[in-house]
Amino acid sequence: MKRSTLVSLFLLIISITPSFAQVTVEKVKAAQELMGLDFSETELEMMLKSLEGLQEDYEAIRKESLDNALRPAFIFNPLPIGASFEKEQKEINWKLPKTKLPKDREEIAFYSVGQMAYLLKNRKITSTELTQLYIGRLKKYGDSLQCLITLMEDYALEHAKKADEEIQAGNWRGPLHGVPYGIKDLLSVPGTKTTWGAAPYKEQERDEMATVVQKLDDAGAVLVVKLTLGALAMGDVWYGGTTKNPWKLDQGSSGSSAGSASATVAGLVGFSIGTETLGSIVSPSTRCGASGLRPTFGRVSKYGAMALSWTMDKIGPICRYAEDCAMVFDVIRGKDPKDPSTSDFAFNYDPQSKIKGLKIAYASNLFEKDYFNYKRDSASLEVFKEMGVELIPFEWKTELPIGAMRLILTAEAAAAFDELTRSGRDSMLVRQTANAWPNIFRGSRFIPAVEYIQAMRLRQQLVQEIHSLMQEVDVLIVPSFAGNQLTTTNLTGHPVVVVPNGFMENGSPTSICFLGNLFDEAKILSVAKAFQAASGHDDVHPGGFEGR
């Protein structure tokens, strides 16, 4: 029997429409072939009544309206059995670099957070001036990059004025105080649209304030813009166009944190917030030449963020410099009662720390292959050798079926947007290809619950395995996309820092990644900072964005 026939028959049993067909032995027999099962005729006959009962259960559940913010009654915990992590938080003494005002104020747009913090703290510039500079740049370049959804001009100027008053009174809150930033438009802010980059939701307003935005607000940072994302957190295509790579405007920025990476690198915001489920910080940061941190799962609250995968979604900073990521992460991390998946472990980053005492390894088996970025990645290893760091060869391996476990993501995503699929409004999404969300959501309807649970059990085994493997080192240098490490670590929840390490022949940036142990973002950020200082890849900015 043809696969298309089996799918049609299976749809009669487990339909994605509100009506259900009569269950017969012939239909169940066809369905079991699709699932790779082999029950006897007697066993199939015995199932019929229970399957009819399941149809009634499906119908009852589908009558309930489930908001995207309603999480399932289970929580993924990346803590391996028997593992313990540091809880005592030490004070971080941020060493702000002494900075002069440039003759051309536009140069400040590309300054690090630390440099801007120095100017703001010492009243060399006001937050209002800085915010107006970035607003001007967003107005000038936002359309050409197609990175802007909502410019929050009045909101930003009000918060900048407040920051100036506080700093003037000597109440400096920390290095983000008065610094303008942008957020991926899947984070809710009351009074603004939260579009998720998708046409069915482009007029959506949500009442909750995302915890990550609230924490930044409490630190005195100035939210100036909501930035594009690929529709429902995939790619760089949204309902208004395709977000561009500032280095190469005929190329998309990748995604799904498309606008966050593009706007940050082009100097339209001081820093931005992105999210990652399966590469959405690493990929656009690579394409646009940004520095990004994907924290350990549960380090940053997801309250007020669109849910794609409750057990895989992570929120992190996208910046121009690795230490900027450390400054932002220190503010947004921490336990949140509104998100029970969050944890409260220490982040003892030391801006003055030396990396020579760390056990730094490289995934030797991933560097052996002749992949597209082999030359630049190998040169990155040489940078460490020139710094006097003895790199430890390390084999990155697992025998578990990593690719198969991706069904965890697609099953959860299909559940998160089930109403969109069953209503037919998924046809409003721009991308309608075989590998786009509408088709993936429909196909994921055929993932059996048993297979999802089995994949989650294998995932627990994977967490233990990778945790044990990583205990041998402090930091592991990995190619950003070689092998299965990106999927593996998104499943296990391990943290990674991605930074630029050169350019392809077509002018598009490339990157290298620093992978760390669970809840040990401090070490990978220190190593990334040292690499950037030695390599100079963070000192270049895309042309065409220098002035008004």
| Domain enclosing residue 37, as ranges | 1-64
Place of tokens 């509104």: 338
Place of tokens 């049609």: 8
Q: What is the pLDDT of residue 370?
A: 83
Distance of CA 20 to the CA centre of its chain: 38
- Looking at the structure, tell me whether residues 23 and 116 fall in a common domain: no
- Looking at the structure, tell me whether residues 115 and 54 fall in a common domain: no
Name the H helices within 63-199: 113-121, 127-145, 153-168
Q: What is the pLDDT of residue 494?
A: 98
Please say if the pLDDT value at position 11 is more than 50.
no
Residue 282 lies in a domain: yes
- Looking at the structure, tell me whether residues 18 and 130 fall in a common domain: no
- Looking at the structure, tell me whether residues 126 and 253 fall in a common domain: yes
* Pairing status of strand 180-184 against strand 222-227: parallel
Q: What is the pLDDT of residue 548?
A: 47
Residue 430 lies in a domain: no
Tens of pLDDT along 66-116? 999 999 999 999 999 999 999 999 999 999 999 999 999 999 999 999 999
Select from 10, 34, 64 the last residue of a domain.
64
Alpha-carbon gap, residue 318 to 325, rounded angstroms: 7
Residue 78 lies in a domain: no
Alpha-carbon gap, residue 467 to 230, rounded angstroms: 32
Q: What is the pLDDT of residue 7?
A: 39
Alpha-carbon gap, residue 362 to 394, rounded angstroms: 6
Average pLDDT over residues 485-499: 98
Q: How many domains does the chain have?
A: 2
Average pLDDT over residues 286-293: 98
Average pLDDT over residues 297-305: 98
256 preceded by a cis bond (ω within 30 of 0): yes
- Looking at the structure, tell me whether residues 116 and 255 fall in a common domain: yes
Alpha-carbon gap, residue 202 to 187, rounded angstroms: 13
497-512 b/e with 16+ CB inside 10 Å = b? bbbbbbbeeeebbbbb
Residue type at 435 in one-letter notation = N
Average pLDDT over residues 363-387: 94
Alpha-carbon gap, residue 245 to 506, rounded angstroms: 12
Residue 164 lies in a domain: yes
Tokens of 286: 């690579």
Among the residue ranges 90-99, 309-318, 535-544, the one predicted with the least confidence is 535-544
- Looking at the structure, tell me whether residues 118 and 195 fall in a common domain: yes
Decide which of 161 and 17 is more confident: 161
Place of tokens 């690929």: 230
Select from 15, 47, 64 the last residue of a domain.
64
Can you give the pTM of this predicted structure?
0.94
Name the H helices within 250-390: 258-265, 282-288, 322-332, 364-367, 374-386
Residue 10 lies in a domain: yes
Q: Which residues contact 288 (CB under 8 A, 6 or more apart)?
A: 245, 246, 247, 253, 254, 261, 262, 264, 265, 509
Q: What is the pLDDT of residue 19?
A: 67
Tens of pLDDT along 13-37? 444 445 688 999 999 999 898 889 9
Alpha-carbon gap, residue 80 to 388, rounded angstroms: 34
Please say if the pLDDT value at position 329 is more than 60.
yes
- How many CB atoms lie under 10 A from the CB of residue 446? 17
Task: Name the residue among 177, 182, 324 with its Cα closest to residue 263.
Answer: 182
CATH code of residue 310: 3.90.1300.10
The DSSP H or E segment spanning 4 is helix 3-13
Alpha-carbon gap, residue 271 to 327, rounded angstroms: 10
CA atoms within 13 A on the CB side of 402: 18
Q: What is the pLDDT of residue 205?
A: 98
Tens of pLDDT along 239-261? 999 999 999 999 999 999 999 99
The CA-atom distances, in angstroms, between 376 and each of 195, 248, 367, 383, 533 are: 38, 19, 11, 11, 17
213-237 b/e with 16+ CB inside 10 Å = b? bbbbbebbbbbbbbbbbbbbbbbbb
Residue 83 lies in a domain: no
Q: What is the pLDDT of residue 546?
A: 78
- Looking at the structure, tell me whether residues 200 and 256 fall in a common domain: yes
Average pLDDT over residues 488-496: 98
Residue type at 482 in one-letter notation = A
Please say if the pLDDT value at position 468 is more than 80.
yes
Tell me the pLDDT band of 539, cut-offs 50, 70 and 90.
Answer: confident
Q: What is the pLDDT of residue 547?
A: 59
* Pairing status of strand 291-294 against strand 314-319: antiparallel
Residue percentage of the chain with pLDDT more than 70: 96
Tokens of 303: 């309250």
Alpha-carbon gap, residue 330 to 352, rounded angstroms: 16
Place of tokens 């220098």: 546
Q: Is 315 helix (H, G, I), strand (E, B) or coil?
A: strand
Q: Is 149 helix (H, G, I), strand (E, B) or coil?
A: strand
Average pLDDT over residues 392-399: 96
Tell me the pLDDT band of 217, cut-offs 50, 70 and 90.
Answer: very high
The whole-chain average pLDDT of the chain stands at 94
Listing DSSP states for 228-248 in one string gives --STTTSSSEETTEEPEETTE
By CB neighbour count within 10 A (0-12 exposed, 13-18 middle, 19+ buried), where does 367 fall?
buried
- Looking at the structure, tell me whether residues 328 and 210 fall in a common domain: yes
Residue 415 lies in a domain: no
Q: What is the pLDDT of residue 21?
A: 81
Residue 345 lies in a domain: yes
Task: Name the residue among 383, 267, 314 with its Cα closest to residue 521.
Answer: 314
- Looking at the structure, tell me whether residues 380 and 327 fall in a common domain: yes
- Looking at the structure, tell me whether residues 241 and 297 fall in a common domain: yes
Nearest 5°: phi and psi at 203?
-105, 10
Listing DSSP states for 389-433 in one string gives --PEEE-----S-TTGGGHHHHHHHHHHTHHHHHHTGGGGSS--S
Q: What is the pLDDT of residue 9?
A: 39
* Pairing status of strand 241-242 against strand 244-245: unpaired
- Looking at the structure, tell me whether residues 211 and 354 fall in a common domain: yes
Give the bridge partners for 252, in sequence order.
Answer: 244
Q: What is the pLDDT of residue 222?
A: 99
Rg (CA), the chain: 24
Q: Is 74 helix (H, G, I), strand (E, B) or coil?
A: coil
Average pLDDT over residues 170-190: 98
- Are the C-beta atoms of 319 and 357 separated by less than 8 Å? no
Select from 11, 44, 64 the last residue of a domain.
64
Give the bridge partners for 393, in sequence order.
Answer: 362
Among the residue ranges 46-50, 176-180, 495-499, the one predicted with the least confidence is 46-50
- Looking at the structure, tell me whether residues 467 and 516 fall in a common domain: yes
Q: What is the pLDDT of residue 17?
A: 47
